Amino acid sequence: MLQLTHPISQLVLVLVSLLCTTGCASLPDLAKRHSSYAVMPEQTEHTQLGRFISGAFQIADEQQPRINAGVAVLDEAEASLITRLMLIQHAERSIDIQYYIWRDDTSGLLMLQALQQAADRGVRVRLLLDDIHSTAITPYLHQLNTHPNAEVRLVNPFMPRGALVWGFLTDFDRANRRMHNKSLTVDSQASIVGGRNIGNDYFLRGHTDILFSDMDLLAVGPIVRDISVRFDLYWNSDSAYPLELLEAAPATAPRLPTIDYQPQVPSLQEFFSHTQWYGVQAIVVTDSPSKLLGDAAPEELITHKFKIVLAEPQQEVLLVSPYFIPSEALIQALTDLVHAGVSVHILTNAFATNDVALVHSGYAKHRKALLRAGVRLFELKPSAIANPLVNDDEGEELTFSSVSASSLHAKTFIIDRDRVFVGSFNFDPRSVHLNTELGLVVISDTLAERMAETFIANTPGQAYEVVLNEKNRLEWIERDRAGDVIRVHAIEPETSWFQRLAIGFFSFLPIDSLL
Digit-coded pLDDT (tens) for 252-277: 878 888 888 889 999 999 998 889 99
Higher pLDDT, 15 or 228: 228
The residue annotated as part of the active site, out of 75, 305, 411, 428, is 411
Average pLDDT, integer, range 159-180: 92
pLDDT of the residue at 66: 80
The pLDDT mean for the chain works out to 87
- Per-residue pLDDT for 382 more than 90? no
What pLDDT, in 10s, does the model give residues 127-168? 999 999 999 999 999 999 999 999 999 999 999 888 889 989
8 Å CB contact between 113 and 81: no
The residue annotated as part of the active site, out of 182, 291, 305, 360, is 182
pLDDT of the residue at 367: 96
H or E, element range at 421: strand 419-423
Q: What percent of the chain has pLDDT over 90?
A: 69
Q: Is 207 a catalytic residue?
A: no
Q: Is 304 a catalytic residue?
A: no
The residue annotated as part of the active site, out of 90, 180, 360, 381, is 180
Nearest to 320 by CA among 388, 379, 386, 368: 379
CATH code for 36-273? Answer: 3.30.870.10
- Per-residue pLDDT for 22 more than 50? no
Average pLDDT, integer, range 70-82: 94
Higher pLDDT, 508 or 371: 371
pLDDT of the residue at 85: 98
pLDDT of the residue at 140: 95
Q: Is 411 a catalytic residue?
A: yes
- Per-residue pLDDT for 62 more than 50? no
Task: Kindly report the backbone phi and psi dihedral angles of residue 503, in degrees, each rounded to the nearest multiple of 5, phi listed first.
Answer: -60, -45
Domain boundaries, the chain: 36-273, 301-514
Q: Is 182 a catalytic residue?
A: yes
pLDDT of the residue at 99: 98
Which residues, at least 6 apart from 12, have a Cβ–Cβ distance to it below 8 Å? none
CATH code for 301-514? Answer: 3.30.870.10
H helix runs in 313-426, sequence order? 328-339, 357-364, 367-372
